[in-house]
Amino acid sequence: MAAFRNLCALASRNVTHHARPVNVKALTRGLATAKAPSSLFASLDTFTDRHIGPDDGEVAHMLSKLGYDSMDAFVADTVPQKIRVSSSSVSNESIPALSESELFQRAKELGKANKPVKSFIGRLESLVNFQTMVMSLTAMDIANASLLDEATAAAEGMVMAFTGTNGKKRTFFADSGVAPQTIAVLRTRAKGFGINLVVGDALTALEDEALRADLCGVLVQYPDVDGAVKDFSGLAEAVHGAGALLVCATDLLALTMLKPPGEWGADIVLGNSARFGVPAGYGGPHAAFFACTDKLKRKMPGRLIGRSRDVNGKPAYRLALQTREQHIRREKATSNICTSQALLANMAAMYAVYHGPASLQRIAQKVHTFAQIIKSAVENYGYKAVSAQFFDTLTFEVNAVVKDAEVLHAAALAAGINLRRIDDHHVGLTLDESVGAEDVVALVNIFASAASLSPVTLADLTSTSLSSASIPESLRRTSKFLPHPVFNTHHSETEMLRYIYHLQSKDLGLVHAMIPLGSCTMKLNSTSSMIPLTWPEFASVHPFAPKDQVKGYTELIKELESDLCKITGFHACSLQPNSGAAGEYAGLSVIREYHESRGESHRDICLIPVSAHGTNPASAVMAGLKVVPVKTHADGNLDLEDLKTKAEKHKDQLAAFMITYPSTFGVFEHGVQDACKIIHDNGGQVYLDGANLNAQIGVTNPATCGGDVCHMNLHKTFAIPHGGGGPGVGPICVAEHLSPFLPTHPIISTGGDKAINAVAAAPYGSASILLISWAYIKMLGGAGLSDASKLALLNANYMAQRLSGHYNLRFKNGKGRVAHELLIDLAEFDKAAGLKVNDFAKRLQDYGFHPPTCSWPISTCMLIEPTESETLEEIDRFCDAMIQIRKEAGDIIAGKQPKDNNVLKNAPHPISVIAQSEEEWNRPYSRQTAAYPMPWLLEKKFWPTVSRIDDAYGDTHLIVSPPAKAPNDQY
């Protein structure tokens, strides 16, 4: 059937575009195209045919339009010969391809290798709802939507405290009750900023006058890592008296019963929202929450969703306070947050919407009551709880009953349960809503068994007397929470599904059209690659489960690390960074540690081209480096002379050079190896930003280009869904000499023998979604991965060829080729018609397309990337839309429409505008022109929900929650 489809497609295109038949075999030489099965028993469900959009005939058509007789000839003109790698470097010999069914079988094998043990080790929505939920539960003024994990959120809080003193106070105090993985991440971040991190008892620490004098902030956990609920109100007063900030890590479910931190003096409140309906997933992804007082809002990292209005006064939401973003502030930024775990934040918020405040409180009360029952019963056996005040977590001192804690862990494992390992004298356990009565009995009887005492029955526990003192009166919540209509409306499954679908219908996704975001590679996220992560064998695994229980995960991780090393040409890999920007930070931290190991800790200069991704300079500063910008030429290429001059000037302090390849301007620069040699000759290391790796696989690699370390965006190149801002994974691969410094973890050992401290809360970051990229690589195989890159290059160059006669194509190489993305400059339209990039972007919405990346890396440009998943039909549809918009702009230039009232300036046109009465319609063009500028829109039309947003209003009216009373079109 595939062969018939391809033959028909080719025949139709021959009639339309060619005077003579095309030799498809010749044109597609160098591409592992779909072939007839080798035998009756060969697999038919091959993934390459599913993933790559253009078929053989479409490939032939595009190559012919570009003037090539083969794929090999096209690639030769696109990728510089001296950095090309052999086809065997990434092939089906090096990475064998699995069919979809074979992938499922392999994933099942690995899943079965994980032991289904129940863990009691520890805790782990529209986005405005998420912000509102966090603000309400924490009693703070403002919250973002969202951060990577609890540990990195704590690090962001520490840096906010530090920069709040303009660096004049350098001591940050972390209470010993803070989780160890959080303290480890704090140590890594503190080093880059030169912060003095001290760990101890926060309730007594401020008695030290010297510490108070240099104190910028204090971090406490509430409840703490051992479960204790402590009154930190006095500490808050003392911290404020010292001119410092109090940062509090907490738990959302606990705050339905505990006095919220905003009511006892916290300045910043953070934590992990996984508790609200997100699977453990061996560590992630989970959305962290982050809230603060109003006076700190413009220092807050991450994404903030603001409620604004469109030009017609209709409510609309947008990203707000964007001046904080690292892409704008660059080396002046103190945070490099880009990915924000938005998909997971939506999940957590929908959990709160579905349950509402009353049900959440019932859930919390059940969890707390079970904890009370367990404490009472276990203490009857002679064990001692270390704290009488708790919510869901208990820690027991065990030596009065058993020789050491290992006896209890052995009894627990025999019952199919994991308890929290602390030391030889203590064990811990944490409960959640999934815990039932039978689990309570099983937990109590573990302690009975270890002590060789009689077990209990459920009947025995029902009569347990409970102490009201487990949450002291002064720390009980009395304020109401989640009063907004959205949290008190959708409690039946029918209503909840309608609400979710209502919100979903407002979003344009890949199900509607291509999303041609340059540098953000929005490709097919296949169902087959995402199914395994839904299986409980992967989704329900605790991140700190013993290694003998996660052999399937361990093998999968090793396979993924190995494949990523083959793809990049590097020696070793760390999967811990849970975003691309986190990967940048981790890679630069590894470079710094390498220099320190050689007695060269003074190397702190990082050279970064002005064309680099915005997160690059921000990440460098966070790693403790000083940024020196490097010029680029008018053609977009790196200025090698300027690079050489600055490398030699700073040769004694040169630590690193960060380069994006292909460049952010969308071309393969010929001088990349020369640039890397300049850096190495002057004692520095090369960090190659892997955001554009989709253009490289199978044709070149970062190691061949001359790099020492690179990060990869698995959510881009390797097909993890972006989720509106996350989840993401940004692993790093490094050359052999850097491998000893890969990050470790305090709970589960990872990394090299000279490892830097952790950069994420979980040892393997967002481990569960690693399955998606693992599956993507396994099903494509080496040859399919290489094909994907070649088709990404071909699609982009075909699009560049179609648009170049209508728009100014800003950069291309000497052969007239671009890489996997193209940059078009719209500056001429501003001068001729007062049209800016935003006008073109908004008009594209009327054509049913998400706009490309706008005003970056050049303010007057659009950066466009089609990816290999898009068919010729879809690429042509987008090009047709852009060409028609160019004609509309031409009408404005010619005076056929006024400059201040035209189809571009008024775009987009939602139904509410198109449905205006004749008296209201005051536009010099028809409704047909506004809504249906192309014939295909009559059949398939995606309607924008609102008109153009009033940015000026939004900038001056920061509203981050839904209205107290919802308008008719909301919720």
CATH assignment of the domain containing 631: 3.40.640.10
Residue 645 lies in a domain: yes
Residue 580 lies in a domain: yes
Token pair, residue 949, equals 């947003």
Percentage of the chain exceeding pLDDT 70: 93
Residue 799 lies in a domain: no
Asked if the model's pLDDT at residue 199 lies above 60, the reply is yes
Residue 65 lies in a domain: no
Residue 836 lies in a domain: no
Q: Are 482 and 360 within 8 A, CB to CB?
A: yes
Distance CA(285)–CA(287), nearest Å, equals 7
Mean pLDDT of the chain: 92
Q: Which residue has the higher pLDDT, 735 or 116?
A: 735
Print the domain residue range for 163: 125-339
Asked if the model's pLDDT at residue 589 lies above 90, the reply is yes
Asked if the model's pLDDT at residue 280 lies above 90, the reply is yes
Residue 420 lies in a domain: yes
Q: How many structural domains compose the chain?
A: 3
Distance CA(657)–CA(807), nearest Å, equals 34
Read off the DSSP letter of residue 943: P
* Residues 709 and 673 grouped into a single domain: yes
* pLDDT score recorded for residue 205: 93
* Residues 612 and 760 grouped into a single domain: yes
pLDDT in tens, 540-554: 999 999 999 999 999
Neighbours of 505 (CB within 10 A): 10
pLDDT in tens, 500-518: 999 999 999 999 999 999 9
Residue whose structure tokens are 């890594």: 188
* Residues 649 and 710 grouped into a single domain: yes
* Residues 361 and 324 grouped into a single domain: no
* Residues 335 and 368 grouped into a single domain: no
Percentage of the chain exceeding pLDDT 90: 83
Asked if the model's pLDDT at residue 70 lies above 60, the reply is yes
- Residue 713, sorted as left (phi over 0), alpha (psi -120 to 50) or beta, turns out to be beta
Query: Rounded mean pLDDT of 671-686?
Result: 97
* Residues 315 and 360 grouped into a single domain: no
* Residues 202 and 270 grouped into a single domain: yes
Domain edge (last residue) among 315, 339, 363: 339
Which residues, other chains included, contact 641 with Cβ-Cβ below 8 Å and sequence gap of 6+? none
* pLDDT score recorded for residue 960: 83
Residue 369 lies in a domain: yes
* pLDDT score recorded for residue 326: 57
* Residues 626 and 691 grouped into a single domain: yes
Query: Rounded mean pLDDT of 177-184?
Result: 98
* Residues 697 and 734 grouped into a single domain: yes
CATH of the domain at 453: 3.90.1150.10
* pLDDT score recorded for residue 969: 42
Which residues, other chains included, contact 366 with Cβ-Cβ below 8 Å and sequence gap of 6+? 433
Asked if the model's pLDDT at residue 323 lies above 90, the reply is no
Element (H, E) at 385: strand 384-385
Which residues, other chains included, contact 963 with Cβ-Cβ below 8 Å and sequence gap of 6+? 307, 315, 970
Residue whose structure tokens are 């995606």: 942
Residue 894 lies in a domain: no
* Residues 335 and 365 grouped into a single domain: no
Read off the DSSP letter of residue 114: B
Domain edge (last residue) among 748, 769, 790: 769
Distance CA(257)–CA(223), nearest Å, equals 12
Distance CA(638)–CA(632), nearest Å, equals 4
Out of 387-401, 603-617, 677-691, which region has the weakest mean confidence (pLDDT)?
603-617
* Residues 363 and 315 grouped into a single domain: no
The two beta strands, 654-660 and 605-609, are parallel
Neighbours of 825 (CB within 10 A): 16
* pLDDT score recorded for residue 11: 34
* Residues 411 and 321 grouped into a single domain: no
Query: Rounded mean pLDDT of 443-462?
Result: 95
Domain edge (last residue) among 419, 453, 475: 475
Distance CA(591)–CA(257), nearest Å, equals 46
pLDDT in tens, 615-634: 899 999 999 999 999 999 88
Distance CA(291)–CA(155), nearest Å, equals 14
| pTM over 0.85, yes/no | yes
Q: State the amino acid at position 423 in one-letter form.
A: D
